[in-house]
Amino acid sequence: MLRTNDLYLTRLLSRIGRKTLLDLAGLRHTDSARSKAYVRPLTRPGVHPAATVHVTDGLESATFFAKAQRVGYRGAQSLEKELNFLSNVAPLITAENPTLRSPLPIAYYPEPGLLLMEFIPGHSLKHHLFDLSFTHSERPDLPELLQHTGRWLGSLHRLTLNTLCGNPLEWLLREFKNERTVEAFTLYSLKDSYTEMLSILNSCHERNPHFQRRLCSVHGEFTPIHVMVANEAIYVVDFGNSRLGYLYEDIGLFEAFYDSLQPWRAFMGAYRLKLQEQKGLFLSGYLEQSPAAFTAADMAIMRWVRLISLARMLNGRQRRYNGWQKWMYSRLALSTLRKRFIEASTAELNAMRRLPPDVFDDAVRRDDAPSCEVKMPLRTASASI
């Protein structure tokens, strides 16, 4: 299927034609013998096939990033969502802070499902934080990058804060009952802990049916993988799963990425900067720009969100590998990740047991409680990592 999607993307670019690609790049196409276009598919694309496209008129050259709708795909991610985000939401963040960016859209062809956008030449934040590096190039300022990443996310949530509200406890119940969450607790022999956590969550929801939080735009897959570093700025990418949601999801997924790291990546990351310090820098940047301060109720919600996010990450990790990589993952990483998940579950469950009965009353009694136009149940689209 991977090869089929790569060929499909190449065919779409061929249909657009070299002349159009040169026009989009602002290059000449008078000398057809010297003008060329090269397509290089990514070795590990996301949900949809993607490639870098290099065009030259013989004198100058340019590079695009191309993404096409996957053959036979019927999931929640879409190029229309990505285009809308890049065109209408991301520029609001950059207007406030030029170091917080996203790729610029260049052209969109809806009928075949093809999006061309600015190519970002740098490495991901994941690479700078956790990958082995044998080059002697100067490493960027990691604390600054982590704070920029938090600021980008905080700005997104603040700038898109909606007048629509919902009860996040209802959302938590749906996500906690999700198959991928139950599967993680079952895999790591924590069914009893899961049952007790679900019981506590049900009790919180029954006692607080009118608890409200405002909705905002969420990225949906916010991890260091989707933050590129280039041109003394960060570029957040991949918005096919962006939607209206609760801000907890993006924060929880970013934090869960650390807890799902393979042991060798965790070692490299801690060698460069303590992992807890990395998460703290990200959160400090986020809170600097976030819509509102986190209350005790929000912190309580995050206890379930962290486990839901970690279950999502662990499921994605296991499905990603095959062959010898799957063997290495199961032998070298799985036992460490199992221990982390058990430790996280134990710590969160102990904290859940101590939650005061009135912890979710704050949204009812506070003077600045959200005023909602619509009380709506929110369904979160699932996505693969």
Query: What letter does residue 381 receive in the DSSP assignment?
Result: P
In angstroms, the CA 223 to CA 237 distance is 10
State pTM to two decimals.
Answer: 0.90
Overall average pLDDT of the 60-79 stretch: 86
pLDDT at 233 over 90: yes
Question: What are the pLDDT digits (tens) for 116-137?
Answer: 999 999 999 999 999 987 665 6
Closest-CA residue to 289 (of 142, 99, 130, 120): 99
In angstroms, the CA 98 to CA 385 distance is 28
In angstroms, the CA 43 to CA 130 distance is 19
Closest-CA residue to 21 (of 42, 37, 40, 39): 37
The CA radius of gyration of the chain, in Å to the nearest whole number, is: 22
First to last CA, the chain: 18
pLDDT at 365 over 50: no
Question: What are the pLDDT digits (tens) for 257-269?
Answer: 999 998 889 999 9
Given 3.90.1200, 2.70.98, 1.10.1400, 3.40.50, which CATH number is that of 123-365?
3.90.1200
Overall average pLDDT of the 283-290 stretch: 96
Tokens of 42: 């990514």
Domain boundaries of the chain, sorted by first residue? 2-118, 123-365
SS (H, E, C) 363-374: HHHCCCCCCCCC
